[in-house]
Every structure is written in C-alpha cells, then in structure tokens.
Amino acid sequence: MFETFLDYIARTNLFNFIIFASIIVFIFVKLDVLGGLDKGAKIVSDKIDDSKNAKETSESNLQSIENKLSSLQDEVNQIIDKSEKNAEIVGEQIISEANKSTENIKANTLKLINNKTEVLKNDIMRRASIASVEVAKEQIINELSNNYDLHNKLIDESIEAINGVNL
C-alpha cells in the first residue's frame, strides 16, 4: 500500500505538473509573452539606436558651436580693431576741424581787432580835430577880440574876395 500511495502521489504530482505546465504554455501562447519580449527588446534596441544618433547629433552640434565661438572671438577682435581705427580717424578729423576753426576764429579776431583799432583811430582823430577846431576858434576869437586892427583887416580882405567873384 505504501507503494501505491507513493505511486499515487507521484502520479498526482505528475498530473499536477502536466496541468501546471499546460496552463503556463497556454498563458504564454495566449498572451504572446515571447512576442512581447521580442517587441520590448526591439523597442529598447530602437531607443538605444535613437540615443546613439542623438548623441552623435549633439556632439556634432557642440563641435559646430565651439568652432563658431572660437571664430566669434576673432570677429570681436576684428570689430574692436576696426572701431579703434575708425575712432582714430574720426578723432583726427575732429582735431583737424577744430584747428581750422581755431585758425578762422584767430583770423576773424585779428580782423576785428584791426577794425576796432581803425575805428578808435578815426574816433581819436575826429575828437582831436574837433578839439583842435575848438582851440583854434577860441584862439582866433581871443586874437580878434584883443587885436582890433587884425579884425578890421580880415573883414576888408573878405569883402575884397567877395567883390572879386563874378557871377
């Protein structure tokens, strides 16, 4: 009986194992576990390929940007050099124009000084002439007032000069 019991258990275990294995095979087939695993593996493989391509693209973009940055510093230096040269040229032009303006102002100032000098000379001459005439007038009046004979002589000469005029 012991043998039969062991046979029974062995057969039951074998039967249970066969049922369990059948269920597992049925589930694998029904759920397509191997196809899902293949699909998952393909998706992971595609993702890895995409990541590699993205990495290569990123590295290429990085290299391009680094090249542009290195040339950018050269461009900045060239722009600075051009700006400095332009500033020097503009500075020289400003100085040249300032010198010309200074020379013009100096020449105009000298002309103005000369003109003012002439005006002052003429004014002094006019005042001196007026003063001379006034002094001469006073001297003549004094001389004529003090010397009656001279007064009469001048009157007589004036009358003779008028009579000598023919109209």
Q: Do 150 and 143 form a contact (C-beta atoms < 8 A)? A: yes
The domain segmentation of the chain, as residue ranges, is 32-163
Q: What tens digit of pLDDT does each residue of 40-91 get?
A: 788 888 888 888 898 899 888 888 888 877 777 788 888 888 999 998 998 8
- The C-alpha atoms of residue 74 and residue 68 are separated, in whole angstroms, by 10
pTM: 0.40
Most confident residue range from 1-5, 112-116, 160-164: 112-116
Phi-psi category of residue 32: left, alpha or beta, with phi > 0 → left and psi -120 to 50 → alpha: left
pLDDT at 141: 82
- The C-alpha atoms of residue 156 and residue 115 are separated, in whole angstroms, by 48
Residue 132: how many CB atoms within 10 A of its CB? 10
**Is a pLDDT exceeding 60 seen at residue 2?**
no
pLDDT band with cut points at 50, 70 and 90 for residue 145: confident
Query: 6-10, 107-111, 125-129: lowest mean pLDDT where?
Result: 6-10
pLDDT at 150: 77
**Is a pLDDT exceeding 70 seen at residue 10?**
no
Q: Do 132 and 139 form a contact (C-beta atoms < 8 A)? A: no
Structure tokens at 112: 């103005």
Q: What tens digit of pLDDT does each residue of 19-44 get?
A: 888 888 777 666 665 666 677 788 88
